[in-house]
Amino acid sequence: MMLILDSAEVHVKYSPGFEVQGQEDKVLWLHKSFYGLKQSARQWSKKAIETLAKLHFKQGKADQCLSGKMERDGNRTYVLLYADDMPVVGSTEKIAKQVDAQLEKFF
pLDDT in tens, 41-85: 888 888 899 999 999 999 999 999 999 999 999 999 999 998 878
How far is C-alpha 43 from the geometric centre of its chain's CA atoms?
Answer: 5
Give pLDDT, residue 73: 92
pLDDT of 44: 83
pLDDT at 34: 67
State yes or no: pLDDT of 6 exceeds 70: no
pLDDT at 81: 92
Question: CA nearest 60: which of 40, 83, 80?
Answer: 80
- Its pTM stands at 0.68
